[in-house]
Amino acid sequence: MDWIKSLQHTIDYIEEHITEPTDYRKIASEMNVSEYYFHKIFTAVCGFTPGEYIRSRRLALAGSELLSTDSKVIDIAMKYGYDSPEGFTRAFTRFHGAAPNTVRKGKASIRSFSSLHISVSLKGGKSMNYKIIEKEEFTVLEKVEVHSIVDDENKNTIPDFWDRAKADGTVKTLVEALTADQHNLMGICYGNSPSDSKTFEYSIAAICDEDCPVPEGYRKNKIPARTWVVFECTGPMPKAIQETWHKIITEFFPAKDFEPTYEMDIEDYPDGNVTAEDYKTYIWVAVKNKKD
């Protein structure tokens, strides 16, 4: 459960620095993970992203300050990270349902959003289908894009990447490259880019032969030999994947002797109707023993 305490420590750090410019690199370092994995863990546990949490906390605190002090609206806006009254008013109105001046005049109520306190209770009775495999190094042919965690852009850009890949022939090319014993395409998250902690490489990939040709615009890559925990997800995408990630982070790893290596994770997609209630996909997480 140490990493749960570490996540709470990181949330406390966010609260202590809530009026300062957001430095996700420093925030993630409080938990000893990359920005990408902090974003993934926080979102899976809390149900919203770090950016959404910080924005909501700032706007809630700004609303309280607007009611309880005589501070100018522009001063409150600047304090909570807004460069202009117009931008602050738009964000404030979306969050509270009323403009700052309306609230100050007592003509509207404000919305509360309290700070997070993480408490994970491990209970029996919930099943997770998983297996642990030792897999030797393997080769993938992949189409790679760089995606950003800034303003949670990746929530939209990755689904868009898959849509474009289906339309432009990328998926067809990758399916043709699959080895004879493989049928599934993969989505591989490589974690933060070496040169930019706010971006990460994501690929749509096929396990291929070592000597498979590499079409222009594609990359051939070696996935190192690792111990993997492979989790089964059943249900329509992306809800089933999101729910499984929540269980992995809040139920599986706290109770087991494994922890992620934080190198990469893989989502393994069989062919089928991804909106069906019985659709199955798989999450691969590279792991190591906590004692290592």
pLDDT 10s digits, 198-209: 889 999 999 999
What is the per-residue pLDDT for 189?
A: 93
Rounded CA separation 251/121 (Å): 8
Task: Tell me, yes or no, whether 95 and 141 share the same domain.
Answer: no
Task: Tell me, yes or no, whether 277 and 170 share the same domain.
Answer: yes
Domain for residue 243, yes or no?
yes
What is the per-residue pLDDT for 184?
A: 94
The enclosing domain of 257 has a CATH number of 3.20.80.10
At 153, the pLDDT band (50, 70, 90 cuts) reads confident
Mean pLDDT of 108-126: 76
Mean pLDDT of 102-120: 88
Percent of the chain with pLDDT over 70: 94
Domain for residue 116, yes or no?
no
pLDDT at 123 over 70: no
Task: Tell me, yes or no, whether 148 and 202 share the same domain.
Answer: yes
pLDDT, averaged across the chain? 90
Task: Tell me, yes or no, whether 150 and 247 share the same domain.
Answer: yes
Domain for residue 195, yes or no?
yes
Task: Tell me, yes or no, whether 222 and 160 share the same domain.
Answer: yes
Domain for residue 121, yes or no?
no
pLDDT at 125 over 60: no
Task: Tell me, yes or no, whether 201 and 80 share the same domain.
Answer: no
The enclosing domain of 21 has a CATH number of 1.10.10.60
Mean pLDDT of 42-68: 93
Task: Tell me, yes or no, whether 249 and 156 share the same domain.
Answer: yes
State how many domains the chain has: 2
Task: Tell me, yes or no, whether 64 and 199 share the same domain.
Answer: no
Least confidently predicted of 97-106, 167-176, 192-201, 281-290: 192-201
Domain for residue 113, yes or no?
no
Structural domain harbouring 70: 2-104
Task: Tell me, yes or no, whether 237 and 184 share the same domain.
Answer: yes
Domain for residue 124, yes or no?
no
Where is the domain boundary, 87, 104, 121? 104
Q: Which residue has the higher pLDDT, 194 or 238?
A: 238
What is the per-residue pLDDT for 166?
A: 94
Q: Could you read off the pLDDT of 2-53 as tens digits, one per residue?
A: 677 888 999 999 999 999 999 988 999 999 888 888 988 898 888 888 999 9
Task: Tell me, yes or no, whether 27 and 156 share the same domain.
Answer: no
Domain for residue 54, yes or no?
yes
Task: Tell me, yes or no, whether 97 and 137 share the same domain.
Answer: no
What is the per-residue pLDDT for 193?
A: 60
Task: Tell me, yes or no, whether 134 and 264 share the same domain.
Answer: yes
What is the per-residue pLDDT for 1?
A: 46
pTM: 0.81
Domain for residue 125, yes or no?
no
